[in-house]
């Protein structure tokens, strides 16, 4: 099975997985909000972010090791694969121990990051937190096993297991909520299902890769260990910076505003994240394929594929940005929860949407960096971004509230959009990045134009938010945005390449393409 076929398989399963998880999470979140309310919803979101911060102890070693596995997997060097995997296992067990110690160490400070938790006692909050910590720690006992399947471009294995687990967890938790209306039992149900899943994954992957159980494993050479260490040192900066920029917003809001406001914000970020994941499936699924391209193809070929990859990303993330800006608030306040108490001011929605689009652009750059093994050149940038985000967010949240938090997030994120392209173009393509920024301006101009045209249409159609008017707006935005994007860019090299690649695999489009060429 070739690169494109494997990527296609990963994309299909990824889409099914993300759609199912989105639907299941939506139902689960709805039941949670109606049964347990805003405060516990906020606690749930804050603890999720706290544990995400603790995950910085992973330090990027997984990414560095996956890169190291590409070559031995391509060459079927099983002895080397076993060596890397044993190293990976030991590293992750160490990480699990570090997370446990750090997690316990910060538990006395939870009361300072949960402002106005209602009637919840410190003892209850601490117990809930330890269950979150347990679920995080046990994941590291099997996480390393997925790396080999992913290096073989079999990402669908992890995707399918994650999907089935999420369905099981959600079903059990919903039943527990309805029957007990108790947050503690809700968390215990998750811990039980997650533990069973870890046991299953261990058995399944041991059977899939029986040679990983061999005892005759040679240790990595000093040079090989040094390569991982060098790349990990670069990635630790990226990891810490990303955590400080992406995982602290909810914690800052909970600490400086209150837990209930954190719950309101979490609904917006939850929808943006999970719908965004549907787009990310495409781009995450081809990382291994890009790693193969980098190892086997010319720079010019890499550059051409990168431009196509980037064009498609801007198209899809731009579509998401326009849709989110016009539809998020009507959906949450009108269609879903029917309560204006769960609605954010539109200025905050604008900041969230802008960050979503620029984050999508950074995804393209980051994925190509990972595939190319370009880890060291911008190692300090994420640290600077994280510091900027924390300083700006904490200063502004005390002056202008939640809006200030997302000003910090947006400003710190755009720094990478301005700096990282120059590094990628210089190191990977030996080119200047001026064309990248020129294309960026064109994409942004089209997106802003469509967003502006939709505004009066929305006011006309959605004078009252109903399921029907919401559905009509979804159709209008979909048709208008894609029609404009096609009209502007259909003659570009990137679109033609993309069209031909898709048309070659879809009979109807293939006939249309052949008719156009005559």
Per-residue pLDDT in tens (0 to 9) along the chain, 518 residues: 555 565 566 667 767 777 888 888 889 999 999 999 999 999 999 998 888 877 765 555 666 666 777 778 777 888 888 888 888 888 888 888 888 999 999 999 888 889 888 888 999 999 999 999 998 888 888 877 777 777 777 777 777 888 888 899 999 999 999 999 999 999 999 999 989 988 888 888 888 888 878 888 888 888 878 877 777 776 676 677 777 777 789 999 999 999 999 999 999 998 898 888 777 777 666 655 666 666 666 777 778 888 888 898 899 999 999 999 999 999 999 899 888 889 999 999 999 999 999 988 888 887 777 777 666 677 788 888 889 999 999 999 999 999 999 999 999 999 989 998 988 888 878 888 899 999 999 999 999 999 999 999 999 999 888 999 999 999 999 999 999 999 999 889 888 888 887 777 666 555 555 555 55
Structure tokens at 171: 């079903």
Residue in 270, 388, 427 with CA at minimum distance from that of residue 336: 270
Which parts of 145-263 are beta strand (E)?
none
In a domain, 422, yes or no: yes
In a 3-state reduction of DSSP, which class is residue 57?
helix
* Cα–Cα distance, 13 to 207 (Å, whole number): 22
* Cα–Cα distance, 482 to 315 (Å, whole number): 8
* Cα–Cα distance, 272 to 256 (Å, whole number): 23
DSSP 151-170: HTT-HHHHHHHHHHHHHHHH
In a domain, 478, yes or no: no
State the CB neighbour count (10 A cutoff) for residue 446. 19
The CA dihedral of 384, 388, 389, 392, to the nearest 10 degrees, is: 180
In a domain, 387, yes or no: yes
- Residue 353 belongs to what domain range? 3-296+344-431
Q: At what angle do helices 122-143 and 183-208 cross, to 10 degrees?
A: 10
Residue in 385, 443, 377 with CA at minimum distance from that of residue 414: 385
In a domain, 60, yes or no: yes
Residues in contact with 256: Cβ distance below 8 Å, sequence separation at least 6, in sequence order = 115, 394, 397, 398
Count of the separate structural domains present in the chain: 1
In a domain, 383, yes or no: yes
In a domain, 249, yes or no: yes
State the CB neighbour count (10 A cutoff) for residue 502. 12
In a domain, 506, yes or no: no
In a domain, 146, yes or no: yes
pLDDT per position as a tens digit, 295-318: 666 777 778 888 888 898 899 999
């Amino acid at each position: 099975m070739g690169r494109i076929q494997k990527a296609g398989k990963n994309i299909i399963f990824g889409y099914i997985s993300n759609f199912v998880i989105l639907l299941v999470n939506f139902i689960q979140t709805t039941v949670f909000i109606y049964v347990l309310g805003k405060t516990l919803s906020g606690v749930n979101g804050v603890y999720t972010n706290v544990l995400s911060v603790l995950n910085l102890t992973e330090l990027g070693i997984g990414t560095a090791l996956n890169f190291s596995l590409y070559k031995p997997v391509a060459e079927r060097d099983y002895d080397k694969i076993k060596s890397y995997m044993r190293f990976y296992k030991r590293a992750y067990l160490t990480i699990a121990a570090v997370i446990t110690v750090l997690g316990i160490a910060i538990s006395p400070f939870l009361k300072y990051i949960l402002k106005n938790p209602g009637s919840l006692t410190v003892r209850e909050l601490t117990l809930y937190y330890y269950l979150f910590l347990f679920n995080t720690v046990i994941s590291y006992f099997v996480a390393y096993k997925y790396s080999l399947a992913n290096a073989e471009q079999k990402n669908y294995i992890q995707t399918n297991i994650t999907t089935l687990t999420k369905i099981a967890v959600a079903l059990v938790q919903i039943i527990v909520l309805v029957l007990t209306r108790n947050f503690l039992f809700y968390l215990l149900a998750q811990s039980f299902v997650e533990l069973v899943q870890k046991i299953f994954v261990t058995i399944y992957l041991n059977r899939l890769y029986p040679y990983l159980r061999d005892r005759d494993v040679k240790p990595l050479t000093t040079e090989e260990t040094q390569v991982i260490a060098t790349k990990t040192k670069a990635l630790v900066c990226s990891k810490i910076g990303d955590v400080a920029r992406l995982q602290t917003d909810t914690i800052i809001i909970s600490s400086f505003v209150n837990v209930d406001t954190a719950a309101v914000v979490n609904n917006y970020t939850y929808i943006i994240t999970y719908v965004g994941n549907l787009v990310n499936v495409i781009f995450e699924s081809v990382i291994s394929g890009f790693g193969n391209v980098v190892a086997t193809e010319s720079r010019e070929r890499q550059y051409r594929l990168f431009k196509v990859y980037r064009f498609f990303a801007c198209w899809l993330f731009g579509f998401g940005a326009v849709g989110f800006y016009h539809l998020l608030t009507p959906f949450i306040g009108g269609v879903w929860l029917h309560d204006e108490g769960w609605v954010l001011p539109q200025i905050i929605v604008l900041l969230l949407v802008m960050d979503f689009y620029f984050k999508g652009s950074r995804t393209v750059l980051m994925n190509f960096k990972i595939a190319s093994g370009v880890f060291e050149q911008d190692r300090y940038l994420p640290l600077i971004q994280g510091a900027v985000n924390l300083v700006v967010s904490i200063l502004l949240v005390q002056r202008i509230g939640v809006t200030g938090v997302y000003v910090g997030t947006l400003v710190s994120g755009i720094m990478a959009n301005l700096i990282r392209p120059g590094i990628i173009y210089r190191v990977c393509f030996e080119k200047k990045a001026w064309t990248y920024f020129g294309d960026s301006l064109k994409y942004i101009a089209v997106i802003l134009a469509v967003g502006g045209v939709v505004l009066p249409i929305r006011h006309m159609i959605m004078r009252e938010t109903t399921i029907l008017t919401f559905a009509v707006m979804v159709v209008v935005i979909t048709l208008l945005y894609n029609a404009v994007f096609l009209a502007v860019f259909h003659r570009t090299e990137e679109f033609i390449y993309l069209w031909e690649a898709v048309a070659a695999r879809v009979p109807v489009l293939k006939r249309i393409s052949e008719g156009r060429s005559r």
